[in-house]
Amino acid sequence: MTSTHIRPVPFDHPDAVKLNDEVQAEYHERYGDGGDATVLSPADFRPPNGAYLIAYDETGRPVATGGWRSQDHNDEGNENGDAELKRMYVVRDLRGHGLARRMLAALEDDARTAGRTRMVLETGLEQPEAIALYTSSGYEPCAKFGYYRAYDSSRCFAKPL
C-alpha cells in the first residue's frame, strides 16, 4: 500500500466534497436511493464539537475520509457525550489495506480528546464490510438512533471512548 497521511479539513473543503460525492454514489449503488439523507452542516464538524479528516496518499490524492460530530440527548435517540461517526469512506483501489481502521482510530482519538465518551454510528445491511470493521474494532449493537432509526435495514453500533 502507498503511504498516507491523515489531516483535518473543513467538511466543505473541495477534497471532502469530492469524497462525499463518491460515498453518496456508492450508497446509491448499494441501496438504490439518493444516498444518505441525514442533514449535515460544515459547522457539525468544527472543533471542538467535531472533526472531519481526510487521508492523502504520497501524490496528494484524497483517498479516505471520515468525520464525527457531537451529539447529546435528543429525540433521535442519542445520549449525552455521544460522538456520531459520519461519512467513513475509502476509495475502491485502496480498500483492504487497513486505511479505514487507521481513520477510525484517528477519529476515536480525536473525539476522546474533545471529551466525548461514546462513539456511535449507523450503517446498513448492504455494507457488510463496514459492519465487519466496526464489530472487529470493539463496537457493539446499540439502541437505534438518528435519521434511519425506523428502517429495518439500519444497524447502530456504539463503543465507549
Q: What per-residue confidence (pLDDT) applies to 36?
A: 78
Task: Give the domain extent around 147.
Answer: 4-160
| SS3 state at 42 | helix
- Measured between its terminal Cα atoms, the distance across the chain in Å is 29
4-63, pLDDT tens digit by residue?
A: 999 999 999 999 999 999 999 998 899 887 677 788 999 999 999 999 999 999 999 999
How are the residues of the chain apportioned to helix, strand and coil, as percentages rounded to the nearest 5?
30, 30, 40
Spatial CA neighbour of 1 closest among 64, 52, 47: 64
Predicted confidence band of residue 83 (pLDDT cuts 50, 70, 90): very high
Check: CB of residue 153 under 8 Å from CB of residue 124: yes
| CATH number for the domain harbouring residue 113 | 3.40.630.30
Q: What per-residue confidence (pLDDT) applies to 2?
A: 62
Predicted confidence band of residue 147 (pLDDT cuts 50, 70, 90): confident
- The count of structural domains within the chain is 1
Question: What is the rounded (10 degree) CA torsion for 69, 146, 28, 97?
Answer: 50
Answering whether pTM is above 0.85, one says yes
DSSP bridge pairs for 83: 70, 119
Check: CB of residue 107 under 8 Å from CB of residue 51: yes
**Residue the block writes with cell 441525514:** 38
Q: What per-residue confidence (pLDDT) applies to 1?
A: 55
- pLDDT higher for 39 or 111? 111
